[in-house]
Structure 1
């Protein structure tokens, strides 16, 4: 039975403005204290909130069920294999884990010199599981961290937030598209804290660290808020305002010495207004086109695709490179409402190649509406007259979710028609379509009969990536004569196959799994003998396979240790590893107890937002 827990996590700034807890490790632990669970249901959130040290987090390792990471919207998903984890749907504890400083919008994620790993307990609860037609159990847990607790978490990272809204004073009308720069009024020289561009609601968030306002004439050797050793330790904030045409307004620096701006804390909310907004710059046409894949990693369709492998390349983060693509892909670029002063429409096509730089297998084929997942391409704005919610925002989407409006296609379900409403605004994130790439390449490989330790090719031939070019075409609505190619990618490597019937848990508790690769093991000394004890030797038989295979490793948990196995080399580079590996230590010297061995296989796959998790198998034995 699979248990799937989903939700969104938010932090509350200044009691009213919530932001997603993004790019953050979330851990789920089994919680066996039933009395504490009952008490937790009646407790206030502040009574359950708890900071754990690194050592306290480590003490919980035996109860760890799963680990995941929130996306840019604070969304997370746990997919638990109840049989593998011996989990029956009972109470859980959910913890944010901070081994380092996540990307919360600050320019530099380097931890400050006094940073120590920590965890944050959000809640202890019994998920409300519900069964669906696929026989999986689903539950939802959404959580908003209170202002006090969220700002305390941020302070442990030395993160300082300014959340503001810029409006026209007399009408309270939001002013979008303005670069707001926060300054610290200082004795020696004013420090720039950071800047941000206001959104359609006039809102902005500036994130910085204390180094920004602790500069002195001795910086960077000595950083301290000047004057030296003040009673208050926060910045004294004033603001400057600019557009692409340059700075058009600046508050006097003395504004930072007023009571509401002096020595502000690390969570500072401010309402700003100007007597009038900036003069509108001359309109410039954005050239509609397709440029990147993935909102989070933004792989350029030419510069970040390897011409020889079809995999990713050229990113500063090493782990983002040498990856094939899988799952839904966000295709990004730029968009306009019009082209040649006429309504714009666009479509995407794919072309399959037998290899990068090889030959065409399938000529250019239209990507149709059913091949596209929910995609918000823009929104409308309406003044409501409500002082607290002055503007109503309505998203326009391909395959809209509830509350969104439909983006229409032409009669063939091929061309996306850009809405022409006067109050329609194209999204600044550049999302054009969310391509369901499994429509291009999918399938299942039956691995029934595979024996751990044997070559995966003994059951099925080693699987291969497939290669596709993607391109965008734009035109005046309904006018074929104006069709223009607006961006063509290199051949990208794609892999969406699932391996079914993969043996799991060896001779101990045989079963199977379905994953995007093969990772299985058995213990040689127990093969065909059932649940027998290990005495003087321990040999792990393993098989791992995927055309984008990364590191393969065998580990073991249990008393004693550290437990070490030799490094595993690929038998077919980047595709397959199999064989046997013996425990490096003395098996006879191990304490008499229960142990678990694991095989982990990294899959070098990305959807443009994150890298596919590793796949694994495990087996228990008694010494």
Structure 2
């Protein structure tokens, strides 16, 4: 009977990133300066990993018994002579290369390492009980990274790319590692993630020591160049079929990394697996800026219905954001809808009763607004139809306002000349938008009527009232729609009890007292005064700026009203002096600009209503 000792040699690059050590020489010795006992073998196997010096190699030459070479998977096999069955052996290996096939060690050094001392009889007994058993040794990542880097200039990045919210892996994405340099950032390499979101990038020091004189002169040009650090400063980019998943910059760089860098990257972009039953469905926010929850975070809604730390109010077209699976665990379609209530309650109280929600997006006229709800990106690049954007459409809703994203995808594929079966050719990237809601179909408060002149206060009867609404998200599994059989999905009934909305413009008037009392076309002189009225129930701020054509006068006007804090809904002044004593205004044409802004926000962008200043021009005669 042949006695075959089977073994395997592996090394850790990171704690969760292991590689086979292939095509290295395994050396089996009689124990060196030890008595031949199984007890010592058991003790030494865990703690005896070390470098073997040149002197020791010479001294142990006569103790060498067997040689073998690892295959592509790091496995080896040695036939043991009968006379050595009760022996303990030292196991070494000569590291002549490291994956992925880096050249011989620098200066042709012999890198020999002692792994362990083993009992042959014990190992053969284990193999007799289990034909698949192999003695396996895995080199700890701190040792193996040092060996790879120090002797072979082999640097490695191992990582995972996941979704930030669901922690599901993102497959088939291209991840690029960059080195932040003082002169020019270096591309360390690009890898594609596997089905577990795992990627690996291998590089050498030459990749991050490039200069404009490379390859003749290479040096690491660290952006913190006075620190003279030797490792790269690594940041990442990642994309999937043209969609940016990770977009780090130098500011995100991990400083002076070692031979092995282990990272976990996450992206807010949802790449949907339509067959994944564990994909959570939820309404999570309004645009990118606000959560759809009550809480103390800077992007949550407060009890009254104001959004975020800036106490914003919602206006215009808003994206109701989150995620929804395409199918349930049993393969049934999933539908969702949003309903609106004119009745509200504080956000820190129990959710409003379902019966209050009488308006439905997709049913109530004017509430639905088309938007991108998904993106299809071809798994294998194509010159045509590589990226297909899926827009929501009125036809995707049923009579009760239930939205079917599966219908939207199939409709879009058909519209571009494909079939629903072609969906298998594409990755499905969720664009974060569940439905877009047009809030102008909800708000009814009238605008401030014209005729109120600059410098006059807004009458109480013309001020704009508070408008609040509640929003409810509903989601269901469609088991048998014809028979009205539906399943319950987690996240159903998520409610925001109070959201303040406003779509009224700022009311602004600006003039000059001296021109109002004479002629609007006359030059003016002496001390001049501005008149202004600025009003909005959610006024954020306003200012006056004066300049002449030569810009010898260029200043903001501080009159104790226009720039007072805290902010109020109205700023009015009938006589705001523009001159600075002594008379600093020379003969010239002047422009007075009135800037203003509100706390209106659509979840992605703030109000641009007051972005363009209201201007008045006059000629000053000194």
- TM-score (structure 2 length as normaliser): 0.51
User: In the alignment, what sits opposite 2:604?
Assistant: 609
Correspondence 1:415 to 2:403: yes
CA 1:336–1:538 in 2, change beyond 3 Å: closer, same or farther?
Answer: same
Residues 202-231 of structure 1, C-alpha deviations (whole Å, 9 max, x = no match): 9866543289487499xxxxxxxxxxxxxx
5+ long unaligned stretches in structure 2: 1-179, 209-219, 221-228, 267-272, 411-419
Larger Rg: 2
User: In the alignment, what sits opposite 1:542?
Assistant: 532
Q: Please, which of 281, 284, 287 is the counterpart of residue 291 of structure 1? A: 284
Residues 62-90 of structure 1, C-alpha deviations (whole Å, 9 max, x = no match): xxxxxxxxxxxxxxxxxxxxxxxxxxxxx
**For the Cα contact (< 8 Å) 1:352–1:467, is it kept in 2?**
yes
Query: Offset of 1:443 from its aligned partner?
Result: 5.9
Correspondence 1:302 to 2:294: yes
CA 1:427–1:205 in 2, change beyond 3 Å: closer, same or farther?
Answer: closer
**For the Cα contact (< 8 Å) 2:315–2:602, is it kept in 1?**
yes
**For the Cα contact (< 8 Å) 2:361–2:401, is it kept in 1?**
no
Residues 407-447 of structure 1, C-alpha deviations (whole Å, 9 max, x = no match): 72224454334348553755344210111111222565252
CA 1:332–1:164 in 2, change beyond 3 Å: closer, same or farther?
Answer: farther
Q: Please, which of 552, 555, 566 is the counterpart of residue 559 of structure 2? A: 566
Residues 127-148 of structure 1, C-alpha deviations (whole Å, 9 max, x = no match): xxxxxxxxxxxxxxxxxxxxxx
Between Structure 1 and Structure 2, how many residues are aligned?
375
Residues 280-338 of structure 1, C-alpha deviations (whole Å, 9 max, x = no match): 9x95612211011113x243433334434422224xxxxxx221111111111111011
5+ long unaligned stretches in structure 1: 1-154, 169-173, 218-236, 245-279, 315-320, 400-405, 498-515
User: In the alignment, what sits opposite 2:314?
Assistant: 325
| Structure 1 counterpart SS, 2:514 | helix
| Structure 1 counterpart SS, 2:459 | helix
User: In the alignment, what sits opposite 1:471?
Assistant: 472
**For the Cα contact (< 8 Å) 2:446–2:464, is it kept in 1?**
no
Q: Work out the CA distance in 2 between the residues paired with 1:600 and 1:183.
A: 54
**For the Cα contact (< 8 Å) 2:592–2:615, is it kept in 1?**
yes
**For the Cα contact (< 8 Å) 2:317–2:438, is it kept in 1?**
yes
Query: Offset of 1:390 from its aligned partner?
Result: 8.8
Q: Work out the CA distance in 1 between the residues paired with 2:186 and 2:441.
A: 42
CA 1:377–1:520 in 2, change beyond 3 Å: closer, same or farther?
Answer: same
User: In the alignment, what sits opposite 1:621?
Assistant: 618
Within 5 A, what are the aligned runs for 1:184-195? 185=205, 190-191=231-232, 193-195=234-236
User: In the alignment, what sits opposite 2:586?
Assistant: 591
Correspondence 1:520 to 2:509: yes
**For the Cα contact (< 8 Å) 1:177–1:198, is it kept in 2?**
no
| Structure 1 counterpart SS, 2:398 | coil
Query: Offset of 1:194 from its aligned partner?
Result: 2.1
Name whichever structure is richer in helix by fraction: 2
**For the Cα contact (< 8 Å) 2:368–2:437, is it kept in 1?**
yes
Q: Work out the CA distance in 2 between the residues paired with 1:189 and 1:472.
A: 53
Name whichever structure is richer in strand by fraction: 1
Residues 471-498 of structure 1, C-alpha deviations (whole Å, 9 max, x = no match): 210112234653562422241111012x
CA 1:621–1:181 in 2, change beyond 3 Å: closer, same or farther?
Answer: farther
Q: Work out the CA distance in 1 between the residues paired with 2:202 and 2:472.
A: 41
**For the Cα contact (< 8 Å) 2:277–2:327, is it kept in 1?**
no
Q: Work out the CA distance in 1 between the residues paired with 2:435 and 2:507.
A: 31
| Structure 1 counterpart SS, 2:559 | coil
CA 1:413–1:554 in 2, change beyond 3 Å: closer, same or farther?
Answer: same
**For the Cα contact (< 8 Å) 2:339–2:361, is it kept in 1?**
yes
Correspondence 1:482 to 2:494: no
**For the Cα contact (< 8 Å) 1:347–1:367, is it kept in 2?**
yes
CA RMSD of aligned residues (A): 4.3
User: In the alignment, what sits opposite 1:397?
Assistant: 391
User: In the alignment, what sits opposite 2:369?
Assistant: 373
**For the Cα contact (< 8 Å) 2:370–2:392, is it kept in 1?**
yes
Q: Work out the CA distance in 1 between the residues paired with 2:398 and 2:573.
A: 55
| Structure 2 counterpart SS, 1:418 | helix
Within 5 A, what are the aligned runs for 1:13-162? 160=185
**For the Cα contact (< 8 Å) 2:367–2:441, is it kept in 1?**
yes
